[in-house]
Amino acid sequence: MLFRSREDHIVPLEAGGHPTDPHNLFPQPDVDAVVKDRDENQAHDDVCSGRKTLVGAQSWIVARWTH
């Protein structure tokens, strides 16, 4: 079975990720998109509510989405 992918940001733009830095881009399988989007929204909510610092949210995303 062939899986499709799309270019995505490791650290999302709404959490301060760089839009064009090659180190912040990766080919995300489409099947992961819903889960990654949910994590991005969680990071955004955590920063806005004060539960996490911006750096903390960025680190959390990187830890979950880089292998």
- Contact predicate 66/32, CB 8 Å: no
pTM: 0.79
Chain centre to alpha carbon of residue 22: 14
Phi, psi angles (nearest 5°) of residue 59: -65, -40
Compute and round to an integer the Cα radius of gyration of the chain. 12
Q: List, for residues 3-55, the tens digit of each pLDDT value.
A: 788 899 999 998 899 999 999 998 888 888 889 999 999 999 999 999 999 99
